[in-house]
Structure formats: C-alpha cells, structure tokens
Amino acid sequence: MTSVSTSLDAGRHAIRDAAIADLGGLRARHPAAFATSVGKRVLTIGILVAAVLLALGAMVWLDFSLVRIWNGLHRLGQFAVLMIPPMPEGRFEAFSIALGETLAIAFLGTLTAAILAFPVAFLAAKNVIPNIFVHFGMRRTFDVFRSVDTLIWALMWINVVGLGPFAGVLAIACADFGAFGKLFSEAIEATDNKAVEGIAASGGGKAHQVRFGLVPQVFPVIASQVLYFFESNTRSATIIGIVGAGGVGSYLTELIRVLELKQVAFLILMILVTVAIIDFVSSKLRMAVIGKSKMV
C-alpha cells in the first residue's frame, strides 16, 4: 500500500514539474483556461475594498481605539494578580452544587429540544413532505426560534416562570429547538433514497419508509449533533445563570460585583475543567455513534 502511494505521489510531482516547465506552451494552447475576465477582477477588488471600508467604518462608529486598549493593559494586569491563586475560600461545596445545576440545565434543555425537534424535522424535509407550504412554514418556524439568542429566551422565561433553573432549561430548549429542527431536516434531506424506494417496493407504507429507511441513516448524525450541542450548552447555561436562570452564573455575577476575584478564578477553572471533560467524553461517544471504535 505504501509503495503504491509513493508511486502515485511521484507521478503527481512529475506531471506538476512538466506542466511548470511548459507553462508558456500551456498558455498558448489553452488561453481560455488562463484568461481572467475584467469583470471578475473588478468584482473581486470591489468586494475587498468594500470589506475594508466596512471594517474601518465599524471601527470609527464603535469608537475602537488601540490606545485605550494599551492604556488599560495595566488594569488587566491588576485583575490578573488579584485572581492568583484561585481559591474557593470555603465555598467549594456550594460551587460544586451550582456547577451540577448548570450541567443539569444544559442536559435537560438539550434533551428536551432534541425530542421536540426530531419528529417536527420530518415535516420540514422536502423528501418526506413534498408540499411546499408545509416544509416552508416549518423552516420559517425554526428560523423564528433560533433567531432569538438563548440569553433573550432566558430573560423572557424568567418573567414568565420566575427566577431559577427551570427558566434556564426552557431558554435552552427554545433556542436549540430551532437549531435542531434546521440541522435534523437537512440531515434527513441528505439521505440516500434507495433504502426508502426498496421499502416502498416491498409494500411498506410511509411510516415504514421513515422508520426503516430514513431514521437509521440520520440517527448517527443527529446523535453527534446533540452531543455537540450539550457541550456547547454547558457554556450557555453558565451565561444565562448571570441573568438569574440558575446555575453557576449567579455566583459569578455576585463575586465579580464584590471583586472576590480569587473565587471567580476558581469558578472559571472549575468550568474549564468540566467543559474539557465533557468535550473528551462527548468526542468518544460521537466517534462510537458514527461507527469508529478509535479516536484518530
């Protein structure tokens, strides 16, 4: 296998060297392949100039200043010194409970969103529901849910059900419902139709085609996406806790306000370690779900 790969690489290098040596001849024989239209060049340059001007305009509008950053570096250094060493100062048990609450919010919110989005996603898939009004309406419904950030959902649900982790679960569930619906429906549309045709040819109904033709194909993809979102939502659950949706975020808000920076550093370290563990475990599970027994 190695010798074959080496031979192929040597052949590619030889072809490339021959083409470079005869570049002038290639231009003469195939002028259309080397020609670039003036319109394309003008369009490319115009896009680059517009992007630069847009960036400069945004910097001016938002009062971006490197001088202010430079002058504030000493203040950043002071904060860093005050955060060393990270210490729980007798609140390790309370921090652990709050971190567990954050994980519970992320897990239950992600699971709820996935369970609700999975059956609805079939209505948004064109290869399952060919009626344009149905799948178009479902796609726009998903857009509405995912266009509102998790933090905004948290603020809304806090006013509906009150402060606490329940509002956090509902916020993550609402935001992820739209994202899962879009991703699940796209995964369903990307499936191979041969399995569905085979089930239909053998007398299977629409439900059988979905259950035995589509679901086995999309399940590994869906499971991988759910695991990834759980990892991401662990960080989101921390953020929404700052506005009163439960979890470790409430402690972060309180400690930053009173400048207990050693405890803040300890909490951040706990979050980093937790996210790293979740990332490692979820990566293993994703590889197992999609059929690989070993991590590369």
Mean pLDDT for the chain?
78
CA distances from 89 to 147, 255, 270 (A): 41, 12, 14
157 and 167 Cβ atoms separated by less than 8 Å: yes
pLDDT of 294 above 60: no
Element (H, E) at 138: helix 132-147
From the list 108, 186, 109, the residue with the least C-alpha distance to 142 is: 186
Question: What does the pLDDT look like over 224-265, one tens digit per residue?
Answer: 888 888 888 888 788 887 777 777 878 888 888 877 778 888
Query: What domains can be seen in the chain, in order of their start residue?
Result: 92-289 (1.10.3720.10)
Is it true that the peptide bond before 216 is cis, omega within 30 degrees of 0? no
How many degrees, rounded to 5, is the angle at CA 277 between CA 215 and CA 247? 90
Q: What does the pLDDT average to over 22-49?
A: 73
Contacting residues for 217 by C-beta, under 8 A, at least 6 apart: 191, 192, 195
Region for 87 from its dihedrals, namely left if φ exceeds 0, alpha if ψ lies in -120 to 50, beta otherwise: beta
CA distances from 78 to 81, 89, 193, 259, 266 (A): 5, 20, 61, 12, 17
Count how many Cα atoms sit within 13 Å of the Cα of residue 112 in the half-sphere of its side chain: 16
pLDDT of 280 above 70: yes
CA distances from 201 to 130, 194, 209 (A): 19, 10, 10
Question: What does the pLDDT look like over 215-233, one tens digit per residue?
Answer: 777 787 888 888 888 888 8
Count how many Cα atoms sit within 13 Å of the Cα of residue 221 in the half-sphere of its side chain: 17
What's the pLDDT at 268?
85
Give the burial string for 149-174 (b: 16+ CB within 10 Å, else e).
Answer: ebbebbbebbeeeeebbbbbbbbbbb
Question: What does the pLDDT look like over 44-73, one tens digit per residue?
Answer: 888 999 999 999 888 888 888 778 888 777
User: Residue 165 has which token pair?
Assistant: 């982790």
What's the pLDDT at 18?
65
What's the pLDDT at 165?
84
Share of the chain residues as helix, strand and coil, in percent rounded to the nearest 5: 80, 0, 20
Q: Determine the 3-state secondary structure of 113 from DSSP.
A: helix
This model's pTM is above 0.85: no
Of the chain, the percentage scoring pLDDT greater than 70 comes to 81
Least confident piece of the model among 19-23, 42-46, 287-291: 19-23
Q: How far apart are CA 227 and CA 290, in angstroms?
A: 12
Greater pLDDT, 209 or 148: 148
What's the pLDDT at 295?
41
Greater pLDDT, 80 or 115: 115
**Count of C-beta atoms within a 10 Å radius of residue 218:** 22
Greater pLDDT, 191 or 266: 266
